[in-house]
Structure 1
């Protein structure tokens, strides 16, 4: 039986390389490719893939959000997140969104093909080093609202800009930023954003 695979990655070169590697396997065929997270659900509805290889950082919609949307819209499609960024928070959030597996892009081709097969069989595949890091790091200490505020602040706006974007008072934004700085052990909001991003909490 041939396993139908869809690729979602914003880098055309990476998509091309993945497609070429997977097509070398007798039981795998690439049926669709997209470069924008917001295209994932429509493409999957049309191509009906068995497994979707999903990047995390894409324009339109990030891969973790796209995974959650895909699992609701096309529950038969299983998701294997394949990312350059092996961040523990990404792993936890990806699995919570419904991904069946999580590997990094430097995984050898044979192992990647095997991961696709195992995910298709209903098994869970997780990069072992990343799984260990995730256990050590733990869950994000930030609340959903603190995460929203930090994401908005990361784009470089003032407290007033963030308040306007999120429909909050400036005092509330300051309180959230203060809490974020405290929880991450940072000295500034820029450093807090950097720490949160490196852990995959944003």
Structure 2
């Protein structure tokens, strides 16, 4: 079994020697290597033939890009900041943090679980659409989704389920059970 502390310490020393990367960033590089069961590389400054710290950071970027590509297929984005993996959902410019994870493996597992679900949830706070629930309350309903950029086209009517509704008849969540999400609105699993 790998010596996690020793690997992290060597990553931190390499980052300190380079002086351009924080210790947290180099620890994130090591966490990713270990989570993906990749053989840890020597991150010392002398190991230029192996890519050194900059090569490891490129690998982190590639791993994040791969995870992010997977996440966007089910309505999420992933980014790493100071060793914390953050999963958000929503249209760019109006994203909301959903979960934060201590390592890439946990974030990946959470996303894989979500990907197995057969339900797509509509982001009711998506600024690009307006949602109207003409039927009032209930566990199933029909909603009208209107594209804010082209309201003259008229609403798209979709039948689905409601997890919660307000006394006014407004819904606070709406979902459909389908393999692909409807074309209008921002949907996530």
Q: TM-score when scaled to structure 2? A: 0.31
More helix by share: 1
Q: TM-score when scaled to structure 1? A: 0.30
Q: Choose 1 or 2 for highest CA Rg.
A: 2
More strand by share: 2
